[in-house]
Structure 1
Amino acid sequence: MPKLISDPFFTIIKAGISGISIPDHFDLMIEKPHPLCLLAANQLQDYLNNQSDWVHNFGLDRQSAGTIIGKMFGVLVVRNQNQEVGFLAAFSGKLAGRNQHTHFVPPVFDLLTENSFLNVGMEALTKMNEEIKDLEEQETPQTDPQILQLKKARKAYSVALQNRIFEHYHFLNQAGEEKNLIEIFQNIGYKNPPAGAGECAAPKLLQYAFQHNMKPIAMAEFWWGQSPKSNFWKHGHFYPCCKEKCEPIFKHMLAGIA
């Protein structure tokens, strides 16, 4: 008998699913979530309401401290190598100041690792900013060329750092083909990927599924917490994946399954 493969991020759906049909093709939520995604999301929301693993102020409790940051969460219903149907969960960006938490798949690339090139790069940019500020406070004609030169150097360094970040985000599809963010977005006519591309919940979920030979069945995302003033998201409501950041990535990741 083959050995069963366990996975720390694969969660069995507690509610019975025997009466729910498994879709023949991958179901990416457009208007409403697949019934399997609803069950998975309800289970995840129950965890969010009752967990004590971390502290994050979603703006749902007046007694919570810290900046209010609502968050998009995603569930991906999959069939694992043991032929079990369950789900993976992910959050967009960071949660409670961290990229990695129990029950949630890891980021495609973790920018927050200690001594990472991003941390080193941000320290260099901070130093440039301080030098520019010091020169500007002197307010002498002699410092103007230095300030201009430093600002040009800062811009070039910042662009190079951002491109290096994009190059470290590698995305798989079902066929095992891999592309980084720059390749993905340039293939459809973008000069550069938008900031934050690859940090949404959906690409994280698909990446983990493909890396661990799980078959994606259906996926949906919901908003949890207060909405930022610049958006219209409502707590607990489901929304389709974003067009600007995710659709270009999906063209690559969902090739052959959607």
Structure 2
Amino acid sequence: MAAGVDIPDSFSLMGGHNPHPACLLAADDLQSRLASLGIHHNFGLTISNDINAAGGSMPAVADLPVIGKMFGVLVVRSPVGECGYLSAFSGKMAGGNHHAGFVPPVFDSLTENSFLNVGMRELTAINDAIRQLEIDGGTVLKENKLELAGLRLKRRQHSTSLQQQLFDHYHFLNRKGDSKSLNTIFSEAGYRNAPSGAGECAGPKLLQFAFLHGYEPLALTEFWWGKSPKSATWKHQHFYACCKEKCEPILGFMLS
């Protein structure tokens, strides 16, 4: 990082809307690069400010669904004492998990023929069968109504099992090098089940990469990039603390 930047003496996790100055510098640098990274994603901003990619048979960015995104920056010190920052996005971007300049996911669920993809195809087949029986409506026989109830139960059980299997593939490290699965972390925090999407937020991704590669985390913050979703108050370029529901139990373990 630039000379003269205030580097925290101990880890700084943003708790309000005031990031550490080093995080502000890192976020400003990342935001200045977002328009030129060549990723085909529509954030709902003007085209000049959207991450864009040209050519081929891909649809124009403006024709894609608008999906704003939370980004995170983690200021770190390398094993040789150099300071810089890591960056991450929450969830997926442009339909993928891997993009240059960003840390990878803790677990990549999009690999071809993974248990998740196979399970989702099975879930789609169940949904198709349910939809066909529902289309038949009142003309179905009593036996078909029983079949419909059975399929709905099978769908619920399959979906629950698939999500639990997915969460068991997420394993997080803490400062000491200990590892725990997502299910274990949330169970020990008093949750009946981990919430959907847990483990995919920017903060845990950043800390996981840092611990895996021997970087010392110094300061972390996240900001929203893109159009605000109708159901939330997130604003473009505003800073936010890591979410309480999905991230707090994970970060509590990782920073222990």
- TM-score, normalisation: structure 2: 0.90
Identify the residue that residue 137 of structure 1 maps to in structure 2. 135
Tell me the secondary structure at the aligned position of residue 217 of structure 2.
Answer: strand
1:225 correspondence with 2:226: yes
2:41 maps to which of 46, 52, 56: 56
- Identical-residue share of aligned pairs (%): 56
1:94 maps to which of 89, 92, 95: 92
1:85 correspondence with 2:103: no
1:188 correspondence with 2:173: no
Identify the residue that residue 204 of structure 1 maps to in structure 2. 205
**Superposed counterparts of 1:1-258, under 5 Å:** 13=1, 16=2, 18-31=3-16, 32-51=18-37, 53-61=38-46, 64-138=62-136, 139-255=140-256
Tell me the secondary structure at the aligned position of residue 190 of structure 1.
Answer: coil
**Structure 2: runs of 5 or more not aligned:** 48-60
Tell me the secondary structure at the aligned position of residue 20 of structure 1.
Answer: coil
> Deviations along 1:25-82, whole A, 9 cap, x unmatched?
100011211111111111100110233x211101112672211110000000000112
Tell me the secondary structure at the aligned position of residue 112 of structure 2.
Answer: coil
Q: Output the CA distance in 2 between the equivalents of 1:20 and 1:137.
A: 64
Shift of 1:137: 3.2
> Deviations along 1:198-250, whole A, 9 cap, x unmatched?
01000000000000010000011010000100001111111111000000101
Tell me the secondary structure at the aligned position of residue 131 of structure 1.
Answer: helix
Shift of 1:144: 1.1
Q: Output the CA distance in 2 between the equivalents of 1:57 and 1:136.
A: 35
Tell me the secondary structure at the aligned position of residue 189 of structure 2.
Answer: coil
Q: Which amino acid aligns with 1:225?
A: G
Q: Which amino acid aligns with 1:167?
A: D
Q: Which amino acid aligns with 1:109?
A: F
Q: Which amino acid aligns with 1:106?
A: P
Identify the residue that residue 53 of structure 2 maps to in structure 1. none
Tell me the secondary structure at the aligned position of residue 89 of structure 1.
Answer: strand
**Structure 1: runs of 5 or more not aligned:** 1-12
The answer to which structure has the higher helix fraction is 2
> Deviations along 1:109-145, whole A, 9 cap, x unmatched?
0111111111100110111111222233332222111
Runs of 4+ aligned residues of structure 1 deviating over 6 Å after TM superposition are: none
Q: Output the CA distance in 1 between the equivalents of 2:33 and 2:6.
A: 25
Tell me the secondary structure at the aligned position of residue 64 of structure 1.
Answer: helix
Q: Output the CA distance in 2 between the equivalents of 1:22 and 1:56.
A: 33
Shift of 1:191: 0.5
Q: Which amino acid aligns with 1:79?
A: R
Contact 1:69 1:225 in 2 (8 A): yes
Contact 1:57 1:68 in 2 (8 A): yes
Q: Which amino acid aligns with 2:71?
A: F
Tell me the secondary structure at the aligned position of residue 64 of structure 2.
Answer: coil
